[in-house]
A and B are shown apart, each in its own frame.
Chain A
Amino acid sequence: MRKILLLIVLFTAVVTVSACSTESGFDITSETEIVVGLEAAFAPFNWATPTENGFTVPIANQTGFYADGFDVVMAQEIADALGLTLVIRAIEWDGLIPALLAGEIDLIIAGMSPTSERAQTVAFSDPYFQSEQVMVVRNDGNYADATSLDDFNGARIVAQLGTLQDDLIDQITGVNHQAALNDYASLVTALLNNASDGFVAELPVAMGIVAANSNLSYITFIDGNGFTVTPEDVTVSVALRQEDTALLSAINDALNAISTETRNGYMEAALTRQPQ
């Protein structure tokens, strides 16, 4: 009896797997929805909110949760350009690429940088936002008036785990590179409690943080004084499955139609909408 049960379970698993394997390429003409994955915890790119407004999109399968942010606005633009209904899924950062590969989502629009490591598993669109890397510091700390990386010699600097920002820290000579933390909330706490002297973040994110925390400010670096970055490092792109080639061209076309000024406008608007 138990053997039969085992066989049934195996059979069901095999059938389910084969029935759900990804089709060859996302077909825009036959699909009606496009599913976008984001973290919903990375303001001002994307965050979760309980109140609707003109920009929010409901988070799938979570009544009462809406996604807002620059990424959400861009996702809506792309969906409109493709003539598809936008569906948003909130997924933990580490789970985004696996979810994409598994077919749970079709795109990742989550403030993700198109690093060469990631490009080995997924395809990236043209950048949809360009930014710079800044340093967030305490107003009453030793580094509030820093202007270049050299000023951070001997400082305790930290960044989020698994991000480009963490890699950049080592460019500072004599830096005390602290162990990476899980999320931006932890970085802010570390800084406020004087466990760190500063953390590296993208400008929009830094702006959002500073708006919500009056004890903090951020340092921008003029050319030459800041981090040395490749173009990919300071941009964010849409990630897709490598086989969705038709989708990739369509998205790039859609992005080309949105000017840099419009995009920056969206980012500023998102910053004002972010709870602060």
Chain B
Amino acid sequence: MTIGVVVFPGSNCDRDVRWAAEGCMGIPTRFLWHEERDLSGLDAVVLPGGFSYGDYLRCGAIARFAPVLEEVAWFASRGGPVLGICNGFQVLTELGLLPGALTRNSRLHFICEPTGLKVHPGACRWLSDYGEAEAISLPIAHGEGRYQCEPATLEAMEQSGQVVLRYQNNPNGSVGDVAGLCNPTGNVLGLMPHPERACDSRTGGLDGQRLFASLLG
């Protein structure tokens, strides 16, 4: 079991993901520079948080064209587990692996605090170790996390159980309280909260651990 962690110019949570996976959970990782194309030997890929390519133009807009993401899209299409955290979630929407877009928080502030979530795991393999409607707490840290999509798109995702994480006290104005989404086949998860910052008891809660542990199950 090895997790690939994509590193864009401007990523800043890549080492946090490595610490969570390797240091806390004992799962080896390999950094994938954005120009790489070799995903051989990897069992899962994480797109970490940060400000890829400076978030110029729009969050994730330029990262979407990184060579490594062509391979990640191919990996995902074959059922490979892909996790996009914060900026990684923004990249997944720009890439079209998840619908909708992340926009400026409704109250404009960059919000950095623990936030209460409800988990609805459904078929999402990253969340298989959580209970239905389980309440957890994960930190958020974003200025552009307001999830936005067409009402019909949201309705369809509600029906198919793709809205797998919801805010309990919607901090950013996201439609449907959406904090995280899964693709229909359950292998691609995008979320604004940071599970990798909730894996070490010295830095807060441990509610993120089971997300990484699900890969071992």
The finding on whether chains A and B are genuine partners in a shared complex, rather than unrelated, reads: no
